[in-house]
Structure 1
Amino acid sequence: MMLGDLLAAARTSSSGFQAWLERSDAALAADVKSAARQQGMTPTGYVRAAIADFNRFAAEEDWATLTSSLKDSDDPGTVCLLAMVHWRLTARGCAEHSPAIAHNG
């Protein structure tokens, strides 16, 4: 499967991702809920935004890290989602590209 196919699959399964995340990584699920609430979004909306933002704004190094992590994965869709959500939670950027900064800064 091509990376584009994986990203398309990830977009359609983001609501299921939140339920899975709560079972497998409660701390990250809480971070997603908190960040979503701060930005006036649902957790599913936040995950969808993370995918879109990663596609638009991630640096070449972020993409390289993501594609390297896919090589040994049995579940590349989940790896993509986790990487993109982690990236979104930790991204620092200008107010134009980061709703959290625009509202809090």
Structure 2
Amino acid sequence: MLLGDVIARLDDEVVALEALVSLDDLSLLAEVEAAASRDGLTPGGFAARAVQAFTASASDEDWVSLIGTIGRAEDPGGACLKGMLAFALKASRAGPACGHAH
């Protein structure tokens, strides 16, 4: 499957939730659930938004790193989702870009 196909599928909240659960990473799932709750989203919604955020705002360096990780992974789709979630969770922990509490 092409990277674009993986990204397009993960843009769907239900597919993203299924992929998130299939990662079998309880720590990551708990972190996503907490971030989703803070943002008023479901975990699947957060995962789908993570994919959108990565594709819209990741730097060239972020993309090169993600592609390298995917290339070495036994599960490229799972590695892709984990990388995009890590990007979104980092941004979520940092809070709003403007510095104001929303």
**TM-score, normalised relative to structure 1:** 0.80
Q: Which sits farther off after the overlay, 73-82 or 12-21?
A: 12-21
Structure 2 stretches lacking a partner, 5+ long: none
AA of the residue aligned to 2:79: V
Spell out, residue by residue over 1:19-42, the C-alpha distance to the aligned partner (whole angstroms, 9 max, x if none): 224xx2211111100000000000
Q: Equivalents in 2 of 1:75, 1:27: separation in Å?
A: 18
AA of the residue aligned to 2:34: S
Q: Give how far 1:52 is off.
A: 0.2
Matched, 1:94 2:97: yes
AA of the residue aligned to 1:65: S
**TM-score, normalised relative to structure 2:** 0.82
Q: Equivalents in 1 of 2:27, 2:46: separation in Å?
A: 16
AA of the residue aligned to 1:17: A
Aligned length: 97
Which residue in the other structure is 2:41 paired with? 41
Q: Give how far 1:84 is off.
A: 0.2
Q: Equivalents in 2 of 1:74, 1:10: separation in Å?
A: 18
